[in-house]
Structure 1
């Protein structure tokens, strides 16, 4: 039997999903892990934690669905961007992975900006400015602060590159993932030599770039033994998680817009040619379909919700442990009882800096306007609304580029909440749709694997036959005014607190 496996390597969890060639979800496993945050702006993970989560996920998958050793399997990944690993000549990790959320390299980002300028950064890489979270900044930080690690590093790999290497023994990356490295030339589609020279690294230390949806090779025999699977497993290039999610949500044509609320809130808008924002705020990425690009931004999303749950919702979490339901569902039911606009409470959800169109690595989380009448449910709803305001900031910025959003495709954990979908539709006053596959990123990766191995003749045909709309949420016109006021306050708070952010560490 032909099976497709989509591996979604997220910030705080790894998902392994198995599909048949019709797109039917046969089994899925989620393995959570905790990040290492030794101090402010530092976010790391042990590479073996990712690998163990993958092994555990495959074992869980096999317990749900009888995968035979004779089954023919194609596997591709949906991967978080910017997370960087450092391997020696023997292929062993020299230190913890530096996760995409890590903002320690502030000084290095300023140094790169001084050397090249943000205008050049945008024109060459598609990224609107040099930021601490980009891999180029991280490499420069390691070079200056951990010179022994830098000198011993034979390969600088992103998380998908690392898994491809562990699975096949070969090195490869793909364009949608490497775009935000700020050492990749998005127009000429090659590594940016001037940047490599400045960092004092060689192109040979980076993974060769292979287009998404292409075969890399067969899985290593020792890995199949470790997984307990057969040897007929083909590893293929996948895509950046949000690009894979867009494919899995059916967002593959111009005029569409998808948003994901997982650990990050991310938006993805496919375009048929490179489109640069005249205001210099909206990043440009490669899209996994040949010849296409995407406007793509992200900032903290589900991490803010998870932070609130973990810190303030012990009762709900205990109830979940006792089998009384999902903690997030319990929180959503409380949120439903709070009126639109949160009775004047507004939040900035930037617990680890903010990204485009309001890039500020020093931005912090803020609650503003709470009084004696506000409850825990108000504070949670304020998180939901704040992320709706970020979506509106992106949609407004797209309109300034001549790109107009007529509908939103919503995916990720946030799309499971009906009240959150209603809030996003109301704030933006556009129809919001969810799709039947709750594992859109994994499905997108699986589609890329199917295209690579010839199961599908095109990504477009696979999407048209496999992606179905589940629900439509229409906006409530009566909430337009209160949300417009909340949106204006959100923007004013961010602008007025910029000086305060600069005073923080």
Structure 2
């Protein structure tokens, strides 16, 4: 039997075909646009994701016996707000995890509702990237669109909904909405009330490994796959990656670098961080985890190389950063290109170079960017 894995990233959709022994047969990647309509905003069109899924699955499964495909599981970027109307049409572009427009709403949640109550309701305080502040922003700034909302979902759940017709999410991904009572694994009625939505507008909750349905006849025909293909609930990107790296159970830790950077600490029992710098989320294996996220990690390196130095030869530019130079610079880089989440909960934070001198070189600044990311982690 064969299985399809989908990773809905910020810049591209990655798909892999794997057999029942875990051997990867093929990998495909499909890019799509990322929009910044205003400073600090970050949006994508969910329809672009589905075009990437459709094209990617067809390319991935070309030349194989489609009847061998038994299941599809999706994971990906967390926290994004996707809203559908009564006709299942997307109401507005998805507001992504790295969008910083909700400073006002985040401050109101933390200072008016209060961190203590938020932690009681959800196990977490408000961060600008979370979904609940986005709903509050939409209610205040786009009331006519807000009134049309019939379904609230996360990015990878939009894919699952289109594939299976099941309105669903999993606990690991839902943990990052600030709408889930993480400890008790149910929607928080208090938070839903604060955000002006009802439980009927929220998806059904599943464990990541549970099946939510099968391919709809329409999607089966479009993808050229049999209707018997099972759709799994899937997981948020970090929880899925943690399972893949064996970061489960007590005494393990995972550090990952992508667009963002995260530190992931699993736990068999529900725990919170007294300083509120770490998130208390559900894990994809049915347990829990603590996680800290810096919003701009490897994306800082990509920005420096491609947008500033105008090069794609990363290795050549970094060749001068030798072991003997590590920690010796007097030039520093603060990696806050999209605000920051942990440990500094500040969407307005901005990146900068510190300590520039007349003899500061291109190589020094390249090293400072890399060290800034490392120090941030």
Q: How many Å separate the matches in 2 of 1:61 and 1:82?
A: 28
- Greater Cα shift, 85-94 or 299-308: 299-308
Q: Secondary structure at the match of 1:254?
A: coil
Equivalent residue number for residue 338 of structure 2: 352
Equivalent residue number for residue 389 of structure 1: 375
Q: Identify the match of residue 149 of structure 2 among 141, 150, 153.
A: 153
Residue 249 to residue 332, structure 1, CA distance change in 2 (3 Å) = farther
CA contact (8 A) 1:271 1:295 kept: yes
Residue 173 to residue 154, structure 1, CA distance change in 2 (3 Å) = same
Q: Secondary structure at the match of 2:153?
A: strand
Q: Identify the match of residue 91 of structure 1 among 88, 92, 98.
A: 88
Equivalent residue number for residue 72 of structure 2: 75
Counterparts of 1:303-314 in structure 2 under 5 Å? 303-314=299-310
When the two structures are superposed, what TM-score results if normalisation uses the length of structure 2? 0.95
Q: Identify the match of residue 200 of structure 2 among 192, 201, 204.
A: 204
Q: Secondary structure at the match of 1:117?
A: helix
Q: How many Å separate the matches in 2 of 1:191 and 1:115?
A: 21
Residue 192 to residue 115, structure 1, CA distance change in 2 (3 Å) = farther
> Residue 224 of structure 1: CA displacement?
1.9
> Residue 163 of structure 1: CA displacement?
0.9
Counterparts of 1:34-73 in structure 2 under 5 Å? 34-63=33-62, 66-73=63-70
1:297 aligned onto 2:296: no
Residue 381 to residue 32, structure 1, CA distance change in 2 (3 Å) = farther
Equivalent residue number for residue 101 of structure 1: 98
Equivalent residue number for residue 182 of structure 2: 186
Equivalent residue number for residue 361 of structure 1: 347
CA contact (8 A) 2:277 2:292 kept: no
1:254 aligned onto 2:257: no
When the two structures are superposed, what TM-score results if normalisation uses the length of structure 1? 0.72
Ranked by relative contact order (alpha carbons within 8 Å, sequence separation 6 or more), the top structure is: 1
Q: Identify the match of residue 216 of structure 1 among 197, 212, 216.
A: 212
Q: How many Å separate the matches in 2 of 1:33 and 1:298?
A: 24
- RMSD, matched Cα: 1.7
CA contact (8 A) 1:58 1:227 kept: yes
Aligned residues: 376
CA offsets, 1:252-285, max 9 Å, x none?
1211111111111011111111122233322211
Equivalent residue number for residue 366 of structure 2: 380
Q: Secondary structure at the match of 1:309?
A: helix
Equivalent residue number for residue 132 of structure 1: 128
Q: How many Å separate the matches in 2 of 1:309 and 1:338?
A: 22
> Residue 26 of structure 1: CA displacement?
0.7
CA offsets, 1:292-318, max 9 Å, x none?
21111112212212211221232x33x
Q: How many Å separate the matches in 2 of 1:342 and 1:206?
A: 52
4+ runs deviating over 4 angstroms: none
Q: How many Å separate the matches in 2 of 1:338 and 1:150?
A: 56
CA contact (8 A) 1:338 1:377 kept: no
Equivalent residue number for residue 112 of structure 2: 115
Q: Secondary structure at the match of 1:310?
A: helix
Equivalent residue number for residue 406 of structure 1: none
Residue 109 to residue 311, structure 1, CA distance change in 2 (3 Å) = same
Structure 2 residue ranges without an equivalent (≥5): none
CA contact (8 A) 2:127 2:341 kept: no
